[in-house]
Amino acid sequence: MAAPRSEGQLLLEFLQQKMYSHLGRLDEFGPQQSDVFDDEKEVARSIEEMLAKRAALVTPEELATLRTSLTAKIQRDRAMDLPTRFERRDDYLWMRYLADEIEAAAQDLGMRIPVRPLLGTLPTGWPNGQSRWVGAEYIVMFDSELFGFGLLLSQVVVLLMPLTRGNKGQFSFSNDLSKIEASIDEKPELVQRFCEVVLAYLMRGAPSALTPPYELEEPYNSMAEVLHRSMALFLMAHEYGHIILGHHPNTGQLQGLFNSVLATSALDSSGEQKEMFRSWFQEHEADARALTLTIRAMQLKGHDVAFSYWGVDFFLSCIDIIEKGVALVRAGEESVNGSSDTHPSTQLRRGIVRDTLRGVLRRNGLSEGAAEAPIELGSCLEKTIAKLWARLRPVLVGLHKEGRTVSPIWP
Ligand SMILES: [Zn+2]
């Protein structure tokens, strides 16, 4: 028998139902809803594909052990209860994975996490996560397309970075901006891809369905995966940062949230919600905590500081694109500095995050200069996105002039 559902789960399902109904998308979640594990043949194929990549590196016995453990993991994932009937299994498993990594990093750093939050997605166009205290638990929620969008842009960016081969034969990426600029000129198909991905998110709210991820060759596949993981960990770690820092009032939220949703068809900018937004100061505090957690989580998987940090900086570039894009299609111009009453601009966040990185490395006994190479890599990605944005911008201005409107997911 299924376990009784918590207040948080009931609230999350209510919000999801409200939003999917508002968007006319409830029929995606009927009894026939597809599950990532439905296709047995596809599951078996992907296990064999993973094993084939390892085959040259391990003995046949190790490979057999790996097959057994992968199959057992998939059985567990397939049997896992989803928190609500509107949660997709692959999204949920991905969020659980990120939460596991952040909690392991927190434990390693001696940070106490009071309780594992309930994780969920909502089609809200929030460029950041949101967390609330409901009943006896935290709910941490993300826009249902945000992680997928991050992967799609990670793929475009790593494909634009020129590959170099070290003297031991290992690959690395050059962050020489002039070479990346040349790459943008030489690979118009990637500029086109960037524009399609951003347009699919802004105008239709569905980048993963309309522009599915590429199947990339190595080493691009691994590099895109590392970039995406670093950014997704930061996104999750930011919400854990709020929880660790005790930024959530403990009572009185539930009724207010119900009222605000009942009063408005979209989950945005009602007075009740605004009250729940945190001050800029708390946002920066959560960013600083998230940076420390992300770097430790990536280091625990063997990544150096630069490849632990680059996704953090890149995440800020991605949300900058979203915020500017929505404003441009709606109003014909980007907002002046991107700040709002409730959220600091991404430029401000980026500056503080980069300063925090210097502090984190200094406290770890590294010289202040140790932060410069990772920041240079982040800055290179920032400039790459700015170049791509310059190509997309006139298209968005054109859409504004035609009177087109962005997807209703956007607040
Ligand atoms: Zn926050």
Question: Residue 131 falls within a domain, yes or no?
Answer: no
Instruction: Determine the pLDDT at residue 335.
Output: 75
Distance between Cα 140 and ligand 1 center (Å)? 11
343 Cα: distance to centroid of ligand 1 (angstroms): 8
Please indicate, yes or no, if residue 317 is contained in any of the structural domains: yes
Instruction: With respect to residue 73, please indicate whether it lies within any of the assigned structural domains.
Output: no
Q: What is the pLDDT of residue 204?
A: 93
CA 295 to centroid of ligand 1, rounded, Å: 18
In angstroms, the Cα distances linking 240 to 16, 94, 311 are 22, 16, 17
- Residue 165: beta bridge partners? 171
C-alpha angle 177-178-183 in degrees, rounded to nearest 5: 95
* Residue at 348 is within a domain: yes
Q: Report pLDDT digits (tens) over 258-288.
A: 444 544 444 444 444 444 445 778 888 999 9
pLDDT-derived band at 250 (thresholds 50, 70, 90) equals very low
Of the candidates 48, 392, 47, 94, the one whose C-alpha atom is nearest the C-alpha of residue 225 is: 94
Give the separation between CA 32 and CA 337, rounded to whole angstroms.
Answer: 45
The rounded Å distance from CA 219 to ligand 1 centre is: 33
Q: Which amino acid is present at 403?
A: G
Cα of 146 vs centre of ligand 1, distance in Å, is 15
What is the reported pLDDT for 370? Answer: 87
Arithmetic mean of pLDDT, 336-355: 74
Distance 276 CA to ligand 1 centre (A): 11
How much distance in Å is there from the Cα of 241 to the middle of ligand 1? 8
* Of 114 and 32, the one with more pLDDT: 114
pTM of the model: 0.88
| CA 341 to ligand 1 center in whole angstroms | 13
Does residue 349 sit within a domain? Answer: yes
CA–centroid distance, residue 248 to ligand 1 (Å): 11
How many whole angstroms from 281 Cα to the centroid of ligand 1? 10
Interval between CA 287 and ligand 1 midpoint (Å): 8
* Neighbour-count burial for 152-168, b at 16+ CB within 10 Å, e otherwise: bbbbbbbbbbeeeeeee
64 located within any domain: no
Q: Tell whether omega for the bond before 219 is within 30 degrees of 0, i.e. cis.
A: yes
What spacing in Å lies between the alpha carbon of 231 and ligand 1's midpoint?
15
Residue 147: band (very low, low, confident or very high) from pLDDT cuts 50, 70, 90:
very high
Expressed in angstroms and rounded, the spacing between residue 240 Cα and the centre of ligand 1 is 9
Q: State in Å: Cα 283 to ligand 1 middle.
A: 5
The CA distance from 96 to 175, in Å, is 32
pLDDT at 38 over 80: no
- What distance in angstroms lies between residue 131's CA and the mean position of ligand 1's atoms? 8
Q: Which residue has the higher pLDDT, 96 or 40?
A: 96
What average pLDDT does this structure show over 82-100?
Answer: 94
- Write down the pLDDT at residue 2: 62
- Which residue is it, tokens 């997928």? 148
Q: Quick one: tokens of 211?
A: 């522009």
Kindly provide the b/e burial profile for residues 392-404, where b requires at least 16 CB atoms within 10 angstroms of the residue's own CB. beeebeebbeeee
| Confidence bin at 117 (pLDDT 50/70/90) | very high
Domain that holds residue 167: 87-114+145-250+262-401
In 3D space, the residue among 99, 91, 96, 92 whose CA is nearest the CA of residue 294 turns out to be 99
First to last CA, the chain: 39
User: Would you call 145 helix, strand, or coil by DSSP?
Assistant: coil
Which tens digit of pLDDT belongs to each residue from 379-399? 999 999 999 999 999 999 999
Longest Cα–Cα distance of the chain, Å, equals 63
Average pLDDT, the chain: 85
Q: What is the pLDDT of residue 265?
A: 41
How far lies 215's CA from each of 155, 219, 222, 389, in Å?
10, 12, 11, 24
Name the domain count of the chain. 1
Q: Is residue 295 part of a domain?
A: yes
